[in-house]
Chain A
Amino acid sequence: DGGITQSPKYLFRKEGQNVTLSCEQNLNHDAMYWYRQDPGQGLRLIYYSQIVNDFQKGDIAEGYSVSREKKESFPLTVTSAQKNPTAFYLCASSSSGSSGNTIYFGEGSWLTVV
């Protein structure tokens, strides 16, 4: 099946730890995105990448890092510098070339600090 796969679905992080959320897509999309969702705040853009080996900060990039070494993969690392990381994280992808292209989402990953 074509789609976006996020793993793990649930992740627990101890204080001071870095954790990495995986995102893989087989839609042959050039652009990939990471969003954070908190209750009542909608979705906020963390990082996005429009092409392999290139990425840009979104609105809330502090405490996060990404890489884009392969077209299919866009992992997100939540570092210990992120002071309030408990949230639902959504990976997404789209074709590039037009702002009218639809952005498709994965099923999300829950990160909880324990």
Chain B
Amino acid sequence: AQSVAQPEDQVNVAEGNPLTVKCTYSVSGNPYLFWYVQYPNRGLQFLLKYITGDNLVKGSYGFEAEFNKSQTSFHLKKPSALVSDSALYFCAVRAPYGNNRLAFGKGNQVVVIP
């Protein structure tokens, strides 16, 4: 079955600095990869996804993610973090066939320090 690892529980970054949230995955076949953001007491908001094509995917709010097949990674990045980016970030993976449930990581709390 597919799975996701988000190795860091919390990421602290100063406002204006680059932000990276790490994600590695395990799946049979070519993966479909997603990033979501969750603000306190809210549902998940879709940020971006990788299906096929260019390994660098651009999404909402200035976020992007890079798909690396050899490292089975899909790290989320933002060149300049804002205080308003402080939230919980989830990486998720789905297999292209068979048991194609969306498997989520445990989430990374991002804290942007003013």
Contacts and interface: CB of A to CB of B under 8 A. Distances in A.
A100 B33 CA distance: 8
Interface of A: 4, 6, 40-43, 45, 48, 58, 90, 92, 99-100, 102-108, 110
Given A42-B90, A99-B95, A107 B42 contact: yes
A42 B105 contact: yes
A42 B4 CA distance: 10
Interface size class of B (residues with CB under 8 A): 20 to 34
B69 interface: no
A90 B44 contact: yes
Nearest to A40: B106
Q: Of residues B44, B46, B51, B95, which shows the largest number of chain A Cβ atoms within 10 Å of its Cβ?
A: B44
Given A99-B32, A108-B41, A42 B107 contact: yes
Contact of B43 (A41, A45, A100, A107): A107
Main SS class of interface, B: loop
A108 B42 contact: yes
A90 B100 CA distance: 19
A105 B90 contact: no
Contact of A102 (B43, B49, B90, B105): B49
Interface string B85-102: 000001000111100111
Given A42-B104, A42-B107, A45-B101, A99 B96 contact: yes
Q: Of residues A40, A42, A103, A104, which shows the largest number of chain B Cβ atoms within 10 Å of its Cβ?
A: A42
Contact of B106 (A6, A42, A103): A42
Contacts of A99: 32, 94-97, 100
Interface in B30-48: 32, 34, 36, 41-46
